[in-house]
Structure 1
Amino acid sequence: MNKQIQLQDLGQQDYNSTWEYQEVLFKDIIDLKIKNRREELDLPTPNYLLFVEHPHVYTLGKSGDLDNLLLSEKQLETKGATFYKINRGGDITYHGPGQIVGYPILDLENFFTDIHKYLRFLEEAIIMTLSEYGITSGRSEGETGVWLDAGTPFARKICAMGVRASRWVTMHGLALNVNTDLGYFDNIIPCGIRGKAVTSLHVELGVEKVDEMEVKSKLIKHLAKLFEAEMI
């Protein structure tokens, strides 16, 4: 089992080109697994963690409802945003500047074969990272992601998640609002959940700007610990 995860920080990248890049890495791992099985080989499969910041974009998961996008094509254009229907789970979400997007492309057979546990580990890494900033966060029953004041009238989501998995290989992942312009969430019903707010790290801390590199380094540390992985 290969417990090394290759880190790649892509900087700011167009959503579509990053999605295509994910698909290439995802397919390469699956092809190698098929080759191993067919030829009775034991070649190690690689794992990746991509960090990226996208220009303004809305993405709709395969089970999502298009009615949760509250903008017309022309209004999207006016706001300088794009829209994609994609092949992850979950409903609609927003990505944009000031948001840390993480795409783990892992062969879970290198770690454990449990998608539920995988999602809980992603959530836990965010929870542990936020706790380093003095923020108590947690899960909301039946709703994937990380929330503040879950189960109260003040519930607000700080991190959205949506993944795809095939043959135990994952893609897509998490989006943590750090310095995000939350006004862009007003144009959607985030994750298809009505009546609940969205927040960000800089709003919760009451500061103008949070060091995103510092947040990433804390997140990497917690992911490495949870997955018992070596980040390279």
Structure 2
Amino acid sequence: METDFLSACVQPVVPAAAAATPEFAPAAGANRRVLVQRLGRVAYVPTWDQQEELLAATVAIKTRNRQGEASGAAPEATPNHLLLCEHPHVYTLGKSGKPEHLLLDEQALAAHGATFHRINRGGDITYHGPGQLVGYPILDLDNFRPDIHFYLRTLEEAVIRLLADYGLAAGRIAGLTGVWLDFEEGAPNPRKICAMGVKCSRWVTMHGFALNVNTDLGYFGHIVPCGITDKAVTSLARELGREVPLREVEDRLLRHLAELLQAEIVE
């Protein structure tokens, strides 16, 4: 299974029944330990390279396991990783994105202290920067549930529950991935607080989510975020009227992910 799924912005319409993450029963013997690395503020490209290396190593194990099936060899457990970090100012464009959605030329990028990279997830353009919690799960979904929609709904649900911890009602908008405030149909000011975009190879994931915590939202003004022109972006700090410790947000998010994935978090 190889797919450049899913856009950081758009997805097939999700039925109302999918609003809550469905129950699932992990396969017997599956490795549900997730090794978490808190990287702090790190440049984008080295982190992308680290993801690629972890994904390749996991896919190699799966390939060896498949080759060993004929001889009856016991399979080797595949690992699961989660990288948590912030990035310096950077714009990334997915494979289906439009370059014109970046509104800065090279000189203006440099003036804003930002860089730009074309990357191998689906979707359009997005922004990462200081004060934003970025998570890169490199999970073997065969250890959990090999279903990309389940995986994305789980990431969304973890963020929705995290925001509820801060008294914010968040949810999904049909046809748009990620997590939104004022998400109900007909709400006057829908605004995105968390973007998502993933790639999956042989059920091993990479890329992930970007949650605006204390983010300078002005940087979103230099792009057409995800190609969406009629909706705003927001942050936890803007909604609460105060900055929030990033470590506190990480801890709460990990707790919700562990519960939803029935996973053991290891640091």
Unaligned runs of 5+ in 2: 1-29
Residue 180, structure 1, aligned to residue 209, structure 2: no
Match of 1:110 in 2: 143
Whether 1:203 aligns to 2:238 is yes
Question: Alpha-carbon deviation of 1:73?
Answer: 1.1
**Does residue 190 in structure 1 map to residue 225 in structure 2?**
yes
TM-score (norm 1): 0.98
Structure 2 counterpart of 1:80, from 101, 113, 119: 113
2:200 aligned to which of 142, 165, 173 = 165
Aligned-partner SS, 1:21: helix
Q: Cα distance, 1:89 vs. partner?
A: 1.7
Matched residue SS, 2:65: helix
> Residues 137-171 of structure 1, C-alpha deviation per residue, up to 9 Å, x if partnerless?
00011000000002323000000000000100000
Q: Which residue of 1 aligns with 2:49?
A: 20
- Indicate whether 1:95 and 2:128 are aligned: yes
Deviation at 1:215, TM superposition (A): 0.6
The equivalences for 1:16-165 within 5 A come to 16-40=45-69, 41=73, 42-150=75-183, 151=185, 152-165=187-200
2:250 paired with 1:216: yes
State the superposition RMSD in angstroms: 0.7
Q: CA deviation at 1:110?
A: 0.2
1:90-115 Cα distance to aligned partner (Å, 9 max, x none): 21100000000000000000000100
The superposition leaves residues 22-56 of structure 1 with CA deviations (integer Å, 9 ceiling, x where unpaired) of: 00000000011001101224100000010011000
- Which ranges in structure 1 are unaligned for 5 or more consecutive residues? none
Give, in whole Å, the separation in 2 of the partners of 1:161 and 1:220.
17
Aligned match of 2:31: 2
Distance in 2 separating the partners of 1:184 and 1:102: 19
Q: Secondary structure at the match of 1:118?
A: helix
Shift of 1:196: 0.8
> Comparing both chains, which one has the higher relative contact order based on Cα–Cα distances under 8 Å and sequence gaps of 6 or more?
2
Q: Distance in 2 between matches of 1:90 and 1:211?
A: 30
CA distance in 2, matches of 1:230, 1:194: 40
Greater Cα radius of gyration, structure 1 or 2: 2
Quick one: which amino acid aligns to residue 38 of structure 2?
D
Q: How many residues align?
A: 231
How many angstroms apart in 2 are the aligned matches of 1:60 and 1:120?
23
Separation (CA, whole Å) in 2 of partners of 1:56 and 1:120? 27
In structure 1, the partner of 2:16 is: none
Which deviates more, 40-49 or 217-226?
40-49
Please list every run of at least 4 consecutive aligned residues from structure 1 whose deviation after the TM superposition is greater than 4 angstroms: none
1:230 is matched with which residue? 264
Letter in 1 for 2:261: F
